[in-house]
Structure 1
Amino acid sequence: MPGPERALAAAACLAGLLGVAASAAAAHVAGADSLKTAAQFLLFHAPAILALAGFGAAGLVRPGLSRAAAGLLALGLVLFCGDLALRALAGRALFPMAAPAGGILLMAGWAAGLLCALVPGRR
């Protein structure tokens, strides 16, 4: 697997790991609805990032487009889930508008993933 795809696969696995950890933590923190949301987003997006990295590495889609889509999803998770988790665990925000910015990046990542599905890979 090429380096960028390997890094994205590692990021996806980290998202899955953090999703499980956040789920466990949310079960023990009273009123941790935002932590539960962060955990769900991490767990929902980890397989998508893995798939995009794998499709790009296998040449099933344009690698640059799949890297962009997966990268947008990963960065969106950092901002969105990082902000929600920090609010739940430390009572403060990552930075102003971090969660909305992360949400926009997540939507952009899914839009780029849509392009991956519609634009044929190079042969």
Structure 2
Amino acid sequence: MKFDRVLFVAGALFGAAGVALSAAASHGGSTNVATAANFLLFHAPALIALSLVVAGGRILHVGAAVLLVAVLLFSGDLLARDFLGQRLFPFAAPIGGTGMILGWLMLAAGALFARKDG
């Protein structure tokens, strides 16, 4: 499967999971569930948009991949704490949060240094 499709599918799944988790949070879920839902919902449209422009260069490609993995780590750790009573692994959420920052910065750099066609 091409990476642009992976990003689009991940964005759509992030959106669906974010809506479902928002509902769960509003019906007695913890703040971890609400925070994970927000991060999934915030990043869903970004991943879908990136799926349309990822061919713009290697930096955009890597930045999108970093963002995808980082959101999964961050939200996954918060949800594991709430639903499983334990972390994914030590420092998973901070690594995910730092990864999201790095991913966004890589996307900015990718846009600045993208090759112009035409």
Aligned counterpart in structure 2 of residue 111 of structure 1, from 100, 105, 113: 105
Q: How far, CA to CA, are the matches of 2:65 and 2:44 in structure 1?
A: 12
Deviating 4+ runs (over 6 angstroms)? none
Q: Does 1:69 align with 2:69?
A: no
Aligned counterpart in structure 2 of residue 96 of structure 1, from 69, 75, 90: 90
- The offset of 1:122, in angstroms, is 4.3
- Alignment gaps of 5+ in structure 1: none
- The offset of 1:95, in angstroms, is 0.9
- The offset of 1:65, in angstroms, is 2.0
Identity across aligned pairs (percent)? Answer: 41
Indicate if the aligned counterparts of 2:25 and 2:33 stay in contact, CA closer than 8 A: yes
Aligned counterpart in structure 2 of residue 49 of structure 1, from 29, 47, 72: 47
The number of residues matched between the two structures is 117
1:2-28 CA deviation, whole Å, 9 max, x = no partner?
A: 811111111111111111111111112
Q: How far, CA to CA, are the matches of 1:67 and 1:29 in structure 2?
A: 38
- TM-score normalised according to structure 1 size: 0.87
- The offset of 1:36, in angstroms, is 0.5
Q: Which residue of 1 aligns with 2:35?
A: 37
